[in-house]
Structure 1
Amino acid sequence: MKTLAPGTVIFHRHRGYGVITHVNLLTGWISARFGSEARTLDLNLSTDDVQHADGEAILFRRAPPDRMPHARLMAMVRALHQAGYEKLYLYSWPKPSGLHWRWHLFTGQRDWMQRPWREGWYGSGADYNVNPVMGWGDSPGATTDELITALARFDPQGLAQALGRDEDHTAWFQGVCKALLPGYMYSLDMERATADRLRETPPVPVIAVRASLPPYSGPQLSWPPGWAGLWTRAHVLPAPPINITGEPLQLTRRLTEKP
Structure 2
Amino acid sequence: MKALAPGTVIFHRHRGYGVITAVNLLTGWIAARFGSESRTLDLNLSTDDVQFADGEAILFRRAPPDRMPHARLMAMVRELHAAGYQKLYLYAWPKASGLHWRWHLFTGARDWMQRPWREGWYGSGADYNVNPVMGWGDTPGASTGELIDALARFDPQGLAQALGRDEDHTAWFARVCEHLLPNYMYSLDMPREPGAPLQEKPPVPVVAVRAGLPAYAGPAIDWPPGWSGLWLHEHVLPAPAIRITGEAELVKGYQPP
SS at the partner of 2:73?
A: helix
Aligned to 1:90: 90
Q: Percent identity?
A: 67
In structure 2, relative to structure 1, the CA distance for the partners of 1:59 and 1:155 (3 Å cut) is farther
**Letter of the structure 1 residue corresponding to residue 96 of structure 2:** P
| 1:148-175 alpha-carbon deviations (Å, 9 max, x no partner) | 1111111111111001110000000000
- Residue 68 of structure 1: how far off its partner (Å): 0.8
8 Å contact kept, 1:111–1:226: yes
8 Å contact kept, 1:75–1:144: yes
Report 1:97-116 matches (<5 A).
97-115=97-115
Give the TM-score normalised by structure 2.
Answer: 0.69
In structure 2, relative to structure 1, the CA distance for the partners of 1:78 and 1:60 (3 Å cut) is farther
**Letter of the structure 1 residue corresponding to residue 217 of structure 2:** S
Aligned to 1:207: 207
Aligned to 1:145: 145
Aligned to 1:68: 68
| 1:180-221 alpha-carbon deviations (Å, 9 max, x no partner) | 0000000001369xxxx9863211000011120011010001
In structure 2, relative to structure 1, the CA distance for the partners of 1:84 and 1:212 (3 Å cut) is same
Alpha-carbon separation, structure 1, partners of 2:208 and 2:168: 26
8 Å contact kept, 1:5–1:20: no
CA radius of gyration, larger in: 1
| 1:208-259 alpha-carbon deviations (Å, 9 max, x no partner) | 1112001101000100011122243599xxxxxxxxxxxxxxxxxxxxxxxx
- Residue 50 of structure 1: how far off its partner (Å): 6.6
Aligned to 2:186: 186
- Residue 44 of structure 1: how far off its partner (Å): 11
Structure 2 unpaired stretches of 5+:
24-28, 38-42, 236-257
In structure 2, relative to structure 1, the CA distance for the partners of 1:149 and 1:61 (3 Å cut) is farther
**Superposed CA RMSD:** 4.0
SS at the partner of 1:130?
A: coil
Alpha-carbon separation, structure 2, partners of 1:111 and 1:149: 26
SS at the partner of 1:225?
A: coil
**Letter of the structure 2 residue corresponding to residue 157 of structure 1:** Q
In structure 2, relative to structure 1, the CA distance for the partners of 1:44 and 1:30 (3 Å cut) is farther
Aligned to 1:126: 126
Deviates more, 1:226-235 or 1:117-126: 226-235
Alpha-carbon separation, structure 2, partners of 1:211 and 1:145: 25
Structure 1 stretches of 4+ moved >6 Å:
43-50
**Letter of the structure 2 residue corresponding to residue 223 of structure 1:** W
Give the TM-score normalised by structure 1.
Answer: 0.68
SS at the partner of 2:142?
A: coil
8 Å contact kept, 2:51–2:57: no
